[in-house]
Amino acid sequence: MISFTSEHEIPVVGLSLNQPYDIMYMQEIPAYLASYTGQTGGQNVQSAIRSIFGEIPITGKLPVDISDKKWYDYLSKKSGIIRGYIPGI
């Protein structure tokens, strides 16, 4: 789907509601927003959508440094579902 939208110049914004590490699996998406409250479908989703459309400012940063990819080797991907653990957390 990402390659199709890119080929046809369709704008795409990735939205993560789970963990800041999710972006490591979405590197081909040109714009990515992370929003976390421990639940999906709540205020975080509404605020994220409003931010994407410019209704409210996007502020803040990821709560962790994802530039160190040591944890990445511990994750495995099966059937589109990420399973594993993050050492030290």
pLDDT digits (tens, 9 = 90+) for 50-84: 998 999 998 888 887 777 655 555 454 444 444 44
Compute the average pLDDT of residues 3-12: 82
Asked if the structure places residue 35 within a domain, the reply is yes
Distance CA 51, CA 72 (A): 29
Contact by Cβ (8 Å): 17, 36: yes
Q: What residues have CB less than 8 Å from 82, skipping those under 6 apart?
A: 25, 75, 76
> What pLDDT sits at residue 54?
92
Asked if the structure places residue 41 within a domain, the reply is yes
Give the chain's domain count.
1
Q: Answer whether residue 6 shows pLDDT above 60.
A: yes
> What pLDDT sits at residue 82?
47
The model's confidence at residue 37, banded by pLDDT at 50, 70 and 90, is: low
Asked if the structure places residue 80 within a domain, the reply is yes
Asked if the structure places residue 49 within a domain, the reply is yes
> What pLDDT sits at residue 38?
60
